[in-house]
Amino acid sequence: MADRPAERISFVTNGTAEADAAAARLRMRYGDVAFDDAEIIVALGGDGLMLQTLHRVMKTGVPVYGMNFGSVGFMMNAFSEDDLCERLAVTQQTQIYPLSMEVLSTSGRAEKALALNEVSLFRSSYQAAKIQIIVDDETRLEELVCDGVLLATPAGSTAYNLSAHGPILPIEAPLLALTPISPFRPRRWRGAILSNHAVVKFITREAAKRPVSAVADNVEFQNVLEVTVREDRSYGVTLLFDPGTSLEERVLSEQFRY
């Protein structure tokens, strides 16, 4: 007899044979509804699947509980087929908010995208990018010569931002991390910590000669001229974690790794 939870669950996977097989067994035990009809999404995969799933629920607010079938699984819980209803009933919630990215391309086209981890600008040729950085209408860096630059949320501060030697931010901190990627000039600049109310504008210099792309999580736009980024609290996503393994705890623990 199937173990029926009070919530309507939809199971999604990263498409691997192991995750698909586990999802089939879970559906037999706990039932399954269509993604759009779910009260809880259970994602079987890694952080990539979690990020994709969170983007899918961005406008609905449906919480997501991940079980790790990937390599890192920073945002995932340990996998178990047993007691899923009980685990879901005692989860700890973490809500995170995205960054809104507005892009103006060199052709004059305007685009928008949302990012839960970070907005990144990258050089698209062999030449370094030249980027002006404006915070709240005030130029803070006239010209950053670099491979790129990124603005990360607290949730994203342990991802690419950390690899680029940016600071780890507490998950509930009202802050954003502004971090250069392989800076050449000014060589000693290592970035800044900004209020989450800040509006950051990046203007590319010599855009035709030094093309730059802009990426919001996994959405990329080529040949950008200006990129404006701000936190958007009209959207939000909820992650569910087993007790004692919250995202807050994971971010804190990451700061003591050596």
In angstroms, the Cα distances linking 154 to 57, 106, 184, 193, 225 are 19, 31, 26, 11, 26
How far, in Å, CA of 144 to CA of 132, rounded? 6
120 appears as a binding residue in the annotation: no
Per DSSP bridges, beta strands 40-45 and 64-68 are: parallel
SS3 82: coil
47 appears as a binding residue in the annotation: yes
65 appears as a binding residue in the annotation: no
Whether 47 sits among the annotated catalytic residues: the reply is: yes
247 appears as a binding residue in the annotation: no
How far, in Å, CA of 252 to CA of 169, rounded? 9
242 appears as a binding residue in the annotation: no
82 appears as a binding residue in the annotation: no
162 appears as a binding residue in the annotation: yes
How far, in Å, CA of 198 to CA of 187, rounded? 24
Side-chain half-sphere of 71: how many Cα atoms within 13 Å?
A: 1
175 appears as a binding residue in the annotation: no
117 appears as a binding residue in the annotation: yes
Side-chain half-sphere of 25: how many Cα atoms within 13 Å?
A: 11
The angle subtended at Cα 159 by Cα 222 and Cα 113, nearest 5°, is: 35
159 appears as a binding residue in the annotation: yes
- Give the active site residue among 3, 32, 47, 136: 47
Residue ranges at the known binding site for NAD(+): 47-48, 117-118, 147, 155, 158-163
Residue ranges at the known binding site: 47-48, 117-118, 147, 155, 158-163
Residues serving a catalytic function are 47
